[in-house]
Amino acid sequence: MENIENRLTKLALKGDQRAFAEIVELYKDKIYHLAYRMLNNRHEAEDVVQETFLRVYKNLDRYDQNQKFSTWIYRIGTNLCIDRLRKRKPTYSLDAEMNDQEGMDGYSMIPSDNRTPESETLISETQQIIYEAIESLPAKYKSVMVLRYLQDLSLQEISDVLGMPVTTIKTRVHRGREFLRKKLEPKL
């Protein structure tokens, strides 16, 4: 993957539009899912994807080829999400979009091969409780928890994306988990 990224980046730097289009194809869904998990809003997530690629395009000449391209693009997307979260007024309600299951493709809390309507309802309710809890996290914990548990990045990758020491990331993951545990204990 890194070799493909390096090749595409070099071509895009030389003005190759097809190479940049391939970069967009490689990352658009990943950035969308990241943004959707952080913002819980389809329209805002779509905006973040567009803004991310606009910034990547404008700043491609600033990309340091010694770092992973994925780290750089995740950092841009995550920072855009954090900026949006900071501008929001605190709200603890779920967007209506959350109920239509969009953006939750394949992510279920209880793996099962023979789902019944009752088990689907239980999964949906459990997911809603968990997403409400994640939505209520302060931005500094929310970004780390989304990257760690929903995007499945390592602590080192999160450290690279957010530009923070791994020790800070570990602390935020721990505190985020504690925050979620306190929120979820009475509900689950």
Closest listed residue to residue 148, CA positions, set 116, 127, 174: 174
61: amino acid identity, one letter? D
130: tokens are 């968990």
Whether the per-residue pLDDT at 83 is higher than 70: the answer is yes
Whether the per-residue pLDDT at 113 is higher than 60: the answer is no
Q: Are 60 and 9 in contact (CB under 8 A)?
A: yes
Q: Are 173 and 154 in contact (CB under 8 A)?
A: no
Whether the per-residue pLDDT at 78 is higher than 70: the answer is yes
CATH code linked to domain 1-92: 1.10.1740.10
Residue with tokens 């939750």: 104
Q: What is the pLDDT of residue 91?
A: 45
Lowest mean pLDDT among 52-61, 102-111, 156-165: 102-111
pLDDT digits (tens, 9 = 90+) for 14-69: 888 898 899 899 999 999 999 998 888 899 999 999 999 999 999 988 888 888 88
User: In whole numbers, what is the pLDDT of the chain averaged over residues?
Assistant: 78
Backbone φ/ψ region at 183: left (φ over 0), alpha (ψ -120 to 50), beta = alpha
Query: Given pLDDT bands bounded at 50, 70 and 90, which one contains residue 111?
Result: very low
Whether the per-residue pLDDT at 127 is higher than 80: the answer is no
Helix axes 42-59, 69-87, angle to 10 degrees: 130
Q: Are 94 and 42 in contact (CB under 8 A)?
A: no
**Long-range Cβ contacts of 45-53 (<8 Å, 24+ apart):** 45/103, 48/77, 48/80, 48/81, 48/84, 49/77, 51/80, 52/76, 52/77, 52/80, 53/24, 53/27, 53/28
Closest listed residue to residue 78, CA positions, set 172, 7, 183: 172
Q: What is the pLDDT of residue 30?
A: 92
In the three-class reduction of DSSP (H, G, I as helix; E, B as strand; rest coil), residue 36 is classed as helix
